[in-house]
């Protein structure tokens, strides 16, 4: 016996369920407003044939996705070990698609500002600087020999970075397509290269031919400790849903921003950069708090389970030691 009555166990279980619901319900409320709109948008999208027959075809598909307004599909080019991982990748893809739609809206609403920022980005590229957030990420991955970025001496680097992202979110991909290549590492493996040199982060960026006869970009999820940490989150349906709802909040923020830019509610790109923070931070902040609280509750439950198991094992050991028949 562990000393816990059935009534106490029921109360404890009910209390845990109430705490979990208290965490989940606000997130569900966040998602409801945008869910039907997102479903209608996705229903109108045409079928897009993705060519992954060769590593080069993967790069060509990425460029075509961007050129045809389907940045939401870019994450399909990354390999997912499990369906839950694919679900999260598609959530990230949804954010990229919303970012692209916001970029289109900005180009319609503020053509002169967009032209100026794009010219600045091109000039920065010629000077060996990163022109937007994606270019900075690529620079950090060793895909450019350049140093510095065009926001380093800005009065408001955050706002400038957002404005640049809205002005030309995927232009870096289109402008640098010819620099991407691959280096064969056998029949089913290839390393990604930039200007003929391997792309080196803390690890090489790889592509692999998988069981469905498609080439994929491989995420670094098999590094020591990484796979286990991802599985603990992705394979827990509640945690995965929280991540998806947070991503949906970001996606909805970009879509709301696009709508307000088109309607004239937002004056210029600086105003848009500030508004994006207003739209995204409350739901994302609430989502992160809820996720952290859920993780805390889950850890408490796991610790309690281990405690009960230890007490049960100790009781069984003591019982065998004092039972003459067991001696």
Q: What is the full DSSP assignment across 124-158?
A: HHHTT-B-SHHHHHHHHTT------BTTTT-S-HH
Residue 186 has pLDDT above 80, yes or no: yes
Per-residue model confidence (pLDDT) at position 321? 60
Give DSSP secondary structure letters for 232-296. Answer: HHHTSHHHHHHHHHHHHHHHHHHHHHHHHHHHT-S-SHHHHHHHHHHHHHHHHHHHHHHHHHHHH
Which range among 8-12, 116-120, 158-162 shows the weakest confidence by mean pLDDT?
A: 8-12
Q: What are phi and psi of 224, to 5 degrees?
A: -55, 125
Q: Label residue 143 by pLDDT band (50, 70, 90).
A: low
Rounded average pLDDT over 56-67: 93
Rounded average pLDDT over 273-298: 79
DSSP letter (8 states) at residue 46: P
Tell me how far apart the alpha carbons of residues 283 and 276 are, in angstroms, rounded to a whole number: 12
Tell me how far apart the alpha carbons of residues 138 and 140 are, in angstroms, rounded to a whole number: 5
Per-residue model confidence (pLDDT) at position 94? 96
Per-residue model confidence (pLDDT) at position 202? 65
Q: Does the reported pTM lie above 0.75? A: no
Q: Label residue 10 by pLDDT band (50, 70, 90).
A: very low
Residue 99 has pLDDT above 90, yes or no: yes
Tell me how far apart the alpha carbons of residues 52 and 59 are, in angstroms, rounded to a whole number: 9
Q: pLDDT above 90 covers what percent of the chain?
A: 31
DSSP, collapsed to helix, strand or coil, labels residue 181 as: strand
Rounded average pLDDT over 22-40: 49
Per-residue model confidence (pLDDT) at position 7? 47
CA distance readout (Å), 215 to 78, 85, 113, 179, 185: 9, 17, 39, 19, 13
Tell me how far apart the alpha carbons of residues 242 and 24 are, in angstroms, rounded to a whole number: 8
Structural contact between residues 50 and 77, judged by C-beta atoms closer than 8 angstroms: yes
Q: Which of 56, 296, 286 is nearest to 177 (CA)?
A: 56
Q: Label residue 6 by pLDDT band (50, 70, 90).
A: very low
Q: Which of 286, 282, 283 is nearest to 294 (CA)?
A: 286
Q: Label residue 248 by pLDDT band (50, 70, 90).
A: very high
Residue 15 has pLDDT above 60, yes or no: no
DSSP, collapsed to helix, strand or coil, labels residue 68 as: coil
| Separation of first and last alpha carbons in the chain | 21
Rounded average pLDDT over 166-179: 79
Residue 38 has pLDDT above 60, yes or no: no
Higher pLDDT, residue 149 or 212 = 212
Q: What are phi and psi of 189, to 5 degrees?
A: -135, 145
As a whole number, the mean pLDDT across the chain is 77
Higher pLDDT, residue 55 or 137 = 55
Rounded average pLDDT over 138-166: 62
Higher pLDDT, residue 238 or 191 = 191
Rounded average pLDDT over 50-67: 94
Structural contact between residues 217 and 207, judged by C-beta atoms closer than 8 angstroms: yes
Q: Label residue 159 by pLDDT band (50, 70, 90).
A: confident
């Amino acid at each position: 016996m562990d000393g816990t009555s059935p009534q106490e166990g029921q109360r404890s279980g009910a209390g845990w369920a109430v705490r979990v619901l208290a965490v989940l319900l606000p997130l569900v409320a966040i998602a409801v407003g945008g869910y039907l709109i997102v479903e209608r948008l996705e229903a109108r999208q045409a079928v897009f044939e993705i060519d992954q027959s060769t590593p080069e075809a993967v790069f060509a598909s990425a460029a075509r996705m961007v050129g045809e307004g389907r940045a939401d599909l870019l994450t399909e080019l990354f390999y997912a070990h499990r369906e839950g991982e694919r679900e999260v990748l598609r959530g990230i893809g949804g954010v990229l698609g919303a970012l692209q739609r916001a970029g289109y809206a900005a180009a319609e609403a503020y053509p002169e500002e967009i032209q100026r920022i794009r010219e600045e980005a091109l000039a920065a590229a010629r000077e060996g600087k990163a022109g937007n957030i994606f270019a900075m990420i690529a620079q950090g991955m060793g895909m450019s020999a350049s140093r510095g970025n065009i926001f380093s001496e800005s009065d408001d680097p955050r706002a400038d970075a957002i404005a640049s992202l809205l002005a030309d979110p995927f232009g870096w991909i289109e402008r640098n397509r010819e620099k991407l290549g691959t280096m064969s590492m056998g029949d089913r493996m290839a390393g990604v290269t930039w200007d003929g040199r391997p792309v080196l982060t803390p690890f090489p960026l790889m592509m692999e031919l998988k069981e469905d006869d498609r080439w994929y970009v491989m995420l670094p999820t098999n590094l020591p400790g990484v796979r286990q940490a991802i599985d603990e989150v992705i394979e827990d349906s509640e945690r995965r849903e929280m991540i998806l709802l947070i991503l949906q909040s970001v996606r909805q923020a970009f879509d709301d921003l696009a709508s307000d830019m088109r309607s004239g509610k937002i004056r210029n790109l600086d105003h848009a950069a500030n508004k994006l923070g207003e739209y995204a931070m409350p739901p994302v902040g609430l989502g992160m708090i809820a996720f952290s609280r859920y993780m805390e509750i889950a850890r408490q439950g796991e610790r309690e389970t281990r405690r009960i198991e230890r007490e049960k094992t100790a009781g069984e050991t003591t019982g065998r030691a004092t039972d003459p028949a067991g001696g």
